[in-house]
A and B are shown apart, each in its own frame.
Chain A
Amino acid sequence: QAQLVHSGAEVKKPGASVRVSCKASGYTFTGFYMHWVRQAPGQGLEWLGWINPDTGDTTYAQKFRGRVTMTRDTSIDTAYLELSSLSSDDTAIYYCARGRIDRSDFWGQGTLVTVSS
């Protein structure tokens, strides 16, 4: 059974960076895109971008370009999201979501990132 397991909650100070991991199991990691989506408290969903775990190719939402980096380690079937220059507006749950380029069929449970001084 497919699973996506996130790293634990993070608390960061403004200006810092955060790295969130998403470990895949139960399916061929390189066979699906991995998207990253966030949800601020009480708000809707916001897409950050995708990585193709097979090739390492990435596409980032324009809003986050220059601040976001998506990588993967195929030896341990894990995808990573790094977001830099954090502000309080980045406080959110960050989800990885497996799928195709145009949709996701399965989401992880998310990592809460809190940015506070």
Chain B
Amino acid sequence: SYVLTQAPSVSVAPGQTARITCGGSNIGTKRVNWYQQKAGQAPELVVYDDRDRPSGIPERFSGSNSENTATLTISRVEGGDEADYHCQVWDGDSDHWVFGGGTKLTVL
């Protein structure tokens, strides 16, 4: 089955740029979605189809995907961005969703 790998944690100072990666075999051929989950809340979609943002998501959130790594980039990080971030793909071969293990973003 398809596997997605995320680092458990990333730390960044306010105003800096956070990069959260999601590794998978030829993930560049799949469409990657990113969900933000704040403490005690349900996940919220922040980037879909590698790089598109739902309505209401700030432009500070951007995504990219190439070869074996997808990246969620958060520019000008704010305290309110502190959350767990989960990458997700749909594996068309199995018709299954696959999630990465999640990355906890800490704002120093």
Q: A interface vs B, CB < 8 Å?
A: 35, 37, 44-47, 59, 61-62, 95, 97, 101-110
- CB pair B96–A44 under 8 Å, yes or no, is no
**Residue of A with least CB distance to B100:** A44
Closest to B98 in A: A47
* 11 sampled A-B residue pairs with Cβ under 8 A: A44-B100, A44-B101, A45-B88, A45-B102, A59-B95, A61-B96, A62-B94, A102-B33, A103-B31, A104-B33, A107-B43
CB-based contact A44/B99 at 8 Å: yes
Q: Decide if B67 is an interface residue (CB 8 Å cutoff).
A: no
Residues of B in contact with A (beta carbons under 8 Å apart): 1, 31, 33, 35, 41-45, 48-49, 54, 86, 88-90, 94-102
- Contact B42–A107 (Cβ < 8 Å): yes
Given contacts A59-B95, A103-B33, contact A45 B42 (CB under 8 A): no
Chain B residue nearest to A60 (CB atoms) is B96
A62-B33 in contact given A44-B86, A104-B45 (Cβ < 8 Å): no
Q: Closest chain A residue to B30 by CB distance?
A: A102
Q: Do A103 and B101 have beta carbons less than 8 Å apart?
A: no
